[in-house]
Chain A
């Protein structure tokens, strides 16, 4: 109970009393004395750099079909980590395991067809929904097909393996398309031994790519790309830190989109430039009290993956004046963080900021290993991840309630989820758990989830605001 008292104390400065709402086990309990006083209306403003983000995303999509004319490599795989490795060969296109993933998820009819094709091939519904979507594209013949019907065969598949579902998918795509395949594994713990393993894996990958493409690997380009990768991930973490401000300058939905250039192209200078511009703009918003949304009656976190096809759920609290202002789905996957012993997340410093200059390939490889094993929270094994971190994050980001999605298909990013729920419960932090799937809309009951949102927000002491509309 000591923890409970502590947490009441922590939230007192924000004028909110916490209840013990537990939506993780069915019907909510009544929150005694829950009351949220912040009814102030804030200034809002569109993000000036938003069109730049859209342009970077568009350019990434188009690159797959233009790469051959430019003499660039086409690398297949969910290549969201170690991006600099391929940059040693210059710019490259990366259509994941099919360029239509996002489109598929937005279009339920197409998504359904995709899932059913994969399932008809024997891939069961417990398998990661994203991978089933990719496999559906594969068996529908879409993986290599451009918008005008052109076929672009990838040079190779390089799969940085955050999970074995990705590795298995890479194997199947490789067999089907007859494309060379290499797997690059994230060790799940950070020791001298595992770092040595990762370094050797990366060295092997460079040799392998040189052999497969017949192209020389440029250390100069690689070093620059490693620095860019660091810069983007640190800039993103700093941007996330700014959301501790009241009001939050960004909301979850915006952050979800803003992180995409980092996922696809953070090895590039243009991407670094974008995140520098974003950071400066967000700093300006904080300084001028510009909010993501007009009201901030409650600040919410969303933990673990959200439903990619149903991101409108993030708008649901707006009618109560509440806002999702972050969570590990947007913070950890593309941010470089130092995690302190007390659970505090702090934006990391780039090697350059720490006075480290990368001189050669060896330095750059070590730096890349350091980035992913030392500073990417998502790469930790469950025993080294501390479920209490969420409590510290709730405190530091001044969060009133946490919403968590249980996704039966994704075991990697939902590892430790139940432990986190237990920690939140013991700390007396309001929480709501719903079931869904990040990519398969059939496993997400939107109506029920939205009703639970209403109950959750009402139990936080909120009421629907008449006449409120989202101003951005």
Chain B
């Protein structure tokens, strides 16, 4: 059904999202198949500040490194469990188990120390023929941040070209930028359907779609998205009305958690975290210097808390999303030990509460204790029901 649209074909809403669900569910299979089919190289990346556009322009498949949501001990010797976040440790676990054996290269856009530590351990213990540490300024508000990031992108492009033995042309960069911008537009259009009451897609479907875009060939992802977006408004909405929730905080790719929250009577209508909207928000505005144009997008996009000072830019963005998506309550998911988000949480809670949006903070360890989460989230939902 890919690329053909599904209106009038008797395909259920769930089936529409199936390619994304399948990709997320068996993400290594997708990359391996892509590699077998194209003969191209696959580059794993940590952090959404990595300029995937450059990798894509080189004819390679950028794949975000994602771990399982599980308890494991394989990483204990390299990243102790009493210090580093479970998301990062589980990324490394996937590598140590050999699940990413198809990777040809690895790159990080420096942000939090957790992913940097894992990247460092990966480079030392899981051989890849190419790796690159990309410095991303923490002071993105500095006047010189875009220049610095442009320089980092130039170094990365050059390193990739040398390793691959092939130059990345301006035309290839343009095509890549266009594909990525199209993806961002499509994702925003899809997210806009969540403003409906009830939303036209569930939080889980939205998350699978955006996560799949970090794992799949962007062009292919776009081709699936186009008819989906065209036809979704005309479909019978199978989503039941619920409390309109925002999810924000640390990285989160736990679909079971999202499904569970929605099964308790909520609709997750928007998110602010780096596996979700922060990944695709903000387009590249074309300019003569392609890499500078890219850098500007990464400087201007909604920031990660590790890069959000001296002025707070993330908070107004979160509040804007909460208003636009008519949010009734917010669940702040914090990976254990995720201090960048822990620093932001009191201010975000306070600001949301002032808008009469109650919040609950849920600490995520791997695996998540759904029973504990349920008590907290249901209390929040009950509070809204009583008030309304």
Q: With both chains docked as a complex, state the minimum distance between the C-beta of B364 and any C-beta of chain A, in angstroms.
A: 12
- Given A170-B310, A182-B310, A382–B78 Cβ distance below 8 Å? no
Task: Identify the B interface with A (CB < 8 A).
Answer: 77-80, 82-84, 110, 112-114, 116-117, 119-121, 123-124, 131, 133, 135, 137-139, 142-145, 147-148, 151-152, 154-155, 305-307, 309-310, 312, 334, 336-340, 342-347, 349
Q: Given A167-B138, A200-B143, 5 more contacts at CB 8 Å?
A: A171-B310, A171-B312, A174-B310, A189-B133, A411-B84
List chain B residues, Cβ under 8 A from A189.
133, 135
Segment touching B, from A90-98, A244-252, A326-334, A414-422: A414-422
- 10 smallest beta-carbon distances between A and B, as pairs: A122-B346, A193-B151, A200-B144, A197-B148, A411-B113, A382-B120, A168-B343, A181-B310, A164-B306, A171-B309
List chain B residues, Cβ under 8 A from A435.
82
Segment touching B, from A46-54, A123-131, A350-358: A123-131
15 A-B contact pairs sorted by A residue (CB < 8 Å) = A122-B349, A123-B346, A124-B334, A126-B342, A127-B342, A183-B139, A185-B138, A193-B152, A196-B144, A382-B120, A406-B80, A408-B337, A414-B83, A415-B117, A435-B82
List chain B residues, Cβ under 8 A from A422.
77-78
List chain A residues, Cβ under 8 A from B148.
187, 193-194, 196-197, 200
Q: With both chains docked as a complex, state the minimum distance between the C-beta of A254 and any C-beta of chain B, in angstroms.
A: 29
B138–A191 CB distance below 8 A: no
A183–B113 CB distance below 8 A: no
Q: With both chains docked as a complex, state the minimum distance between the C-beta of A116 and any C-beta of chain B, in angstroms.
A: 15
A161 within 8 A of B: yes
Q: Who on chain A is nearest to B79 by CB?
A: A418
Complex Cα gap A127–B339 (Å): 5
Complex Cα gap A207–B365 (Å): 45
A165–B339 CB distance below 8 A: yes
Q: With both chains docked as a complex, state the minimum distance between the C-beta of B78 and any C-beta of chain A, in angstroms.
A: 5
List chain A residues, Cβ under 8 A from B309.
167-168, 170-171, 181, 183
List chain A residues, Cβ under 8 A from B142.
183, 185, 197, 200-201, 204
Q: Who on chain A is nearest to B108 by CB?
A: A383
B342–A123 CB distance below 8 A: yes
Q: Who on chain B is nearest to A197 by CB?
A: B148
Task: Identify the A interface with B (CB < 8 A).
Answer: 121-124, 126-128, 161, 163-165, 167-172, 174, 181-185, 187-189, 191, 193-194, 196-197, 200-201, 204, 381-384, 406-409, 411-412, 414-419, 422, 435
Complex Cα gap A15–B124 (Å): 34
List chain B residues, Cβ under 8 A from A409.
339
Complex Cα gap A411–B116 (Å): 10
List chain B residues, Cβ under 8 A from A127.
339, 342-343
- Given A185-B139, A406-B82, A123–B144 Cβ distance below 8 Å? no
List chain A residues, Cβ under 8 A from B344.
168
List chain A residues, Cβ under 8 A from B112.
164, 411
Q: Which of B137, B155, B346 contacts A197 (CB 8 A)?
A: B137
B345–A122 CB distance below 8 A: yes
A183–B78 CB distance below 8 A: no
Q: Which of A124, A169, A183, A419 contacts B138 (CB 8 A)?
A: A183
B116–A415 CB distance below 8 A: yes
Interface centre among A163, A189, A382 (most CB of B within 10 A): A382
List chain B residues, Cβ under 8 A from A411.
83-84, 112-114, 117, 339
Q: With both chains docked as a complex, state the minimum distance between the C-beta of A118 and any C-beta of chain B, in angstroms.
A: 10
Interface centre among B113, B312, B343, B347 (most CB of A within 10 A): B343
List chain B residues, Cβ under 8 A from A407.
83
List chain B residues, Cβ under 8 A from A170.
309-310
Q: With both chains docked as a complex, state the minimum distance between the C-beta of B162 and any C-beta of chain A, in angstroms.
A: 15
List chain A residues, Cβ under 8 A from B338.
126
Complex Cα gap A160–B295 (Å): 24
A183–B340 CB distance below 8 A: no
Complex Cα gap A182–B78 (Å): 35
Q: Who on chain B is nearest to A163 by CB?
A: B113
List chain B residues, Cβ under 8 A from A382.
116-117, 119-120
Interface centre among A168, A182, A415 (most CB of B within 10 A): A168
B138–A201 CB distance below 8 A: no
List chain B residues, Cβ under 8 A from A164.
112, 138, 305-307, 339-340, 343
Q: With both chains docked as a complex, state the minimum distance between the C-beta of A138 and any C-beta of chain B, in angstroms.
A: 12
B83–A406 CB distance below 8 A: yes
Complex Cα gap A185–B139 (Å): 7
List chain B residues, Cβ under 8 A from A201.
139, 142, 144
